[in-house]
Amino acid sequence: MSHTVAGGDAAETKRRLAALALGAMGVVYGDIGTSPLYTLQTTLSHDGLHPTQESIYGVLSLIFWAQILVVSLKYVVFIMRADNKGEGGIMALMALAQRSVREQPKLRWVLVILGIFGAALFYGDGVVTPAISVLSAVEGVKVAAPGLGKWVVPITVVVLFLLFLLQRHGTERVGKLFGPVMLVWFVVIALLGVNMIVRHPQVLYAVLPIYGVKFFLSHGLQAFIALGGVVLALTGAEALYADMGHFGKKPIRMAWFSFVLPALLLNYFGQGALLLMHPEAIDNPFFKLAPTLLLYPMIGLATVATVIASQSVISGAFSMTREAMSLGYSMRMPVVHTSREMSGQIFVPWVNYFLLLMVLFAVLHFGSSERLSAAYGIAVTGTMAITTILALIVARHQWGWKMPAVVAAGGLFLVIDLSFFSANLIKIEYGGWFPLVLGLAVFTWMTTWRRGRELVVREIKQGGLALAPFIAAMREHPPLRVPGTAVFLTANQHAVPHALLHNLKHNKVLHERNVLLTVEMLESPVAEAEERIHIDATGDEFYGIALRFGFAEDPNVPLALSQCARGGLGFDMMDTTFFLSRENIVADKRRPGMALWRDKLFVFMARNALPATAYFQIPGNRLIELGAQVEI
């Protein structure tokens, strides 16, 4: 009987693993799964390079070993070990790396800068990916009917506009179709590749690294420039790590090695076999793999697959924005939960509109996937290099790797990452400037918010009245006490909050019980039960409470306070009033801090940020706000 139960459990585990692997295929691998649409075409058709046998074998060899060394070895095996309590992505990795070097403030500062810049570049990727993916799919129309070429950009604009318009409804329902659709996609592209490989099996010789080496020796600078095209085959590798929290390591690894990697390689080598027989097919080798009868269905399937690929990047931008808000690197924005079951499925309206505008600009400005490919690569490779550095810090300081192992791994991965990055720097004047400018703007936005908040907290702490003498004075000259509990949100537990002083000054009363509440965001995704609440009784019915939340959590202050009863401090929400000082921030050039233009940018952000009360889910009917002016 026990054997039957054990067998049933094992079967259920396998079914669940297979279901998660199917889901990962839809969400995680959409971006990298659609890269065959444009990679070989872009790489083998840039200035001075033509689809000869030597160049085809060389580029295929580079693509093959890039998939093995970068995606399989670096991301799937190495980087995915660096999980922050199950969560992945560059912000989670930055927080993990920071935690592992707590005693080294200078190194922590460097890691913060690297992490923020990597996150900023991710937004650049989030703009270019939907644009190039959908554009390349719709360009299949030109293969079927060349006269329809003028409609490619308008159709792309409509598809992208609808994609961003649907974001507010969430991806839960559509998401259930992602896995099966991508499963069909990978099966179809693998079969198309096999069909051509069978006709020209010699193309498989390209798996030998010697062909990549020969390509560099014979083509020199052209081969180096070709690396900027080869990197297109790696786009979406960051998604493997970023979406780890949704599916877990095992399903993502299982989907990659058993299905996605073989399908991609078969298609790339199939395109190579086609080009060996018909070099003129370089204008669109992907769609020319398909038989004429299947061309229109293939265009439709490719369009759906690229929409799915775009969806994963957009969802990633939403998740990263929420993490940035929690870690204090972004102003608070409204976050809409689109699923009751999945907390990770969110919609951030401001980010959605920003991405839509930038994506439409990219499509209209560049006009074709070939031109847009020049803008692609810098953001991706920059983020890849930063991810490697952060993971090596974790390996050294948290996993206890010996220095020779760190140097060996770093040498291998960073040489590859920096080679790809430097090859893409050549593209700056042709379009590479676009994601860099975008990344720099986001970097400025995030660092300005972080520094601005530090200045505001510093001013509040400097101007505060010490709490201990205040309580002593209250004992000597007790004011009128009124029933109930007053909760004052404050950044400094040792100073009297401005709201408390205003209440005492104008209303001449104190509540029976006064709580100084500080909300802290941790460098881990979820706060453990034992670290969630810290209560400190300071005497005379004054209490200090610190509530801690992880960066992947939605901070619900009333719910957390209701759990304080376990620590001996119960709350009746109907008898509790929240007091908050609403800061009116003023930029003053006479004060040391940031440049005046950054001060003014921060003031703009602060005035348009979601109020702390809404962010902490404090009910409006239990809230009193009092103004306080802060100069920075």
Classify the C-alpha dihedral 302-307-312-313 as positive or negative: positive
481-530 tens-digit pLDDT: 899 999 999 888 888 888 888 888 888 889 999 999 999 988 888 888 88
Residues 6+ apart with CB under 8 A from 73: none
584-606 tens-digit pLDDT: 778 777 777 788 899 889 989 98
Q: Name residue 244's amino acid.
A: M
pLDDT at 58: 95
pTM across the whole model: 0.84
pLDDT at 264: 97
CA nearest 35: which of 257, 437, 306? 306
CA nearest 322: which of 350, 341, 358, 342? 350
Are residues 160 and 174 in contact, defined by beta-carbon separation less than 8 angstroms?
A: no
Q: Does the pLDDT value for residue 47 go beyond 70?
A: no
Q: Does the pLDDT value for residue 342 go beyond 80?
A: no
CA nearest 524: which of 547, 560, 556, 552? 552
Q: Residue 173: pLDDT band by 50, 70, 90 thresholds? A: low
Count of other CB atoms within 10 angstroms of residue 170: 18
Q: Burial, 350: exposed, middle or buried (Cβ in 10 Å; 0-12, 13-18, 19+)?
A: middle
Mean pLDDT for the chain overall = 87
- Higher-confidence position of 74 and 82: 74
Q: Does the pLDDT value for residue 1 go beyond 50?
A: no
Residues in the chain: 632
pLDDT at 174: 58
pLDDT at 588: 74
Over range 435-443, report the average pLDDT: 92
Over range 452-475, report the average pLDDT: 83
Q: Does the pLDDT value for residue 457 go beyond 90?
A: no
Over range 392-400, report the average pLDDT: 92
CA nearest 175: which of 323, 20, 322? 20
pLDDT at 126: 83
The whole-angstrom separation of Cα 517 and Cα 540 is: 16
CA nearest 524: which of 178, 195, 146, 100? 100
Would you state the structure tokens that stand for residue 511, as one six-digit string?
Answer: 């509540």
3-state class (DSSP) for residue 176: helix
Element (H, E) at 547: strand 542-549
Q: Name residue 401's amino acid.
A: W
Q: What is the arrangement of strands in the sheet containing 576-586, beginning at the earlier edge strand?
A: 533-539, 542-549, 509-521, 480-489, 576-586, 623-631
pLDDT at 379: 84
3-state class (DSSP) for residue 340: coil
pLDDT at 5: 44
pLDDT at 396: 93
354-391 tens-digit pLDDT: 999 999 999 999 988 888 888 888 888 999 999 999 99
In this structure, what are the phi and psi dihedrals at residue 584, rounded to the nearest 5 degrees?
-95, 100
Quickly list DSSP for 276-343.
HH-GGGGGSTTGGGS-GGGHHHHHHHHHHHHHHHHHHHHHHHHHHHHHHHHTTSS-----EE--SS-T
Q: Does the pLDDT value for residue 16 go beyond 90?
A: no
Over range 434-452, report the average pLDDT: 93
Q: Does the pLDDT value for residue 18 go beyond 60?
A: yes
Q: Does the pLDDT value for residue 144 go beyond 80?
A: no
- Higher-confidence position of 41 and 246: 41
Q: Residue 2: pLDDT band by 50, 70, 90 thresholds? A: very low
The whole-angstrom separation of Cα 567 and Cα 563 is: 8
Classify the C-alpha dihedral 18-21-26-27 as positive or negative: positive
pLDDT at 286: 94
Residue whose entry in the numeric block shows the structure tokens 């202050």: 557
Over range 256-265, report the average pLDDT: 95
Torsion on CA atoms 313, 315, 321, 323, rounded to nearest 10 = -110
179-204 tens-digit pLDDT: 889 999 999 999 999 999 999 999 99
Q: Residue 4: pLDDT band by 50, 70, 90 thresholds? A: very low
Would you state the structure tokens that stand for residue 580, as one six-digit string?
Answer: 């908050």
Residues of the chain above pLDDT 90, percent? 41
